[in-house]
Amino acid sequence: MLGRLLQRMLGLDVPAVDVEEADGLRREERALFLDVREAAERRAGTIPGSRHVPLGRLLAAPDPGALAGLPKEGRVVVFCATGARSAVAVRALRRSGHAGAVNLRGGLAAWTRAGKPLARG
């Protein structure tokens, strides 16, 4: 039981992609990217071309994916600063029928450490 709880807290219970796979999806335009951080965090930098819906707003919506303008089909890479909030968002999106939602493992921190491009939010 503790193992499952810890996995859930760390976001290890949701499908995820690493930075290299996510960047490949971005470059090939095969996924939408969703930033669930707060506006002030986003202003410091974000993944180019990503959409923005803060986690609290996403969770309050009856259909989180519709709020974010996400199609039911296709891959959606969700990210936050470290991957914890985005794991919560992935769970909500998948429950609402967005089976292609995945977490960016390590979040924007891992993206930045890998030297991937950033855009002003």
Residue among 73, 79, 72, 71 at smallest CA distance from 49:
79
Active-site hit among 16, 55, 78, 80? 80
In degrees, rounded to 5, the angle at the alpha carbon of residue 7 between the alpha carbons of residues 73 and 24 is 40
Catalytic status, residue 80? yes
DSSP letter, residue 107 = H
Reading phi first (left if > 0) and then psi (alpha if -120 to 50, else beta), residue 118 is in beta
**Residues carrying an active site annotation:** 80
